[in-house]
Amino acid sequence: MTLIVGLRCGDGSVLMCSDREESDQVAKRSVDKLFRIRLKQGMFLVGGAGRSSILANAFMRLEAALKAADEKEDNPLLDSHRDVIETVLYQIYESYIWGRHDENERGVQLVVAGAFRAPQSAPFLYVTDGDVLYPQQLYACAGSGQDLAYYFVDKLFHQHLSREVAALLAAFVFREVSGSVGGVGLGMDMFLLGPEGQSLYSIPHQKVPELEKAVPDLGDTIANAWNGDNIVIPTWLTDLFKK
């Protein structure tokens, strides 16, 4: 099981995050789940949730297709990458998912960030819906625990996040989700894709616990908000219980 989250920072860069737990019925291990594709015209970060064997084929085909398109000077990847990715998604669903007796268990979901070496070009952010590439303006969550992740991000995200605050928000979200949802854990990876495809920053997963410690404890924060000094009880409610 996997949780993938992409957050857009105030400067247009995109922070891509994934947990590191890969497990089966016997054991689990910590692995890197964010796939990097470096091209002449830019760079892509891809995270996927679903069956590992299908995702591995999707990543391999995406890399091959994007690199082939990258070589075509008369068709800039900035303009054609959506068609390239959706073609691969269709092929994956046609080959491994559609028409299978366990089709509902085979579906995969990707979060994709792409940046191009073009002036004033901000990274693109997408989440997939089946074989459809779904553009996301601000953030995207996919995989196990995505509903809980969306709940926290919906409440806490704002369009002027600095890169540092985005990293803290991501650490908070993954800490809370991993504590509530099985199969999400063993740390997390963070990569920040900068504007104009010129920079890729990695936050070592060994450093993530330091970020988690910098974020307030959720239980303590809620308890403090609910103490008597912070709650104003409507007069009509007090009067009602006096009757």
| Residue 90 CB neighbour total at 10 angstroms | 14
> What ranges do the domains of the chain cover?
3-216
Q: Report the percent of the chain where pLDDT is more than 70.
A: 98
β-bridge pairing 14-19 and 3-8: antiparallel
Per the prediction, the chain carries an average pLDDT of: 91
Best CATH choice for the domain 3-216 from the list 1.20.120.1690, 3.60.20.10, 3.55.50.30, 1.10.240.10: 3.60.20.10
Distance separating alpha carbons of residues 162 and 173, to the nearest angstrom: 16
pLDDT digits over 70-84, tens only?
998 788 999 999 999
Task: Give mean pLDDT, residues 172-185.
Answer: 89
pLDDT band of residue 231 (cuts 50, 70, 90) is: confident
Between residues 30 and 117, the one the model is more confident about: 117
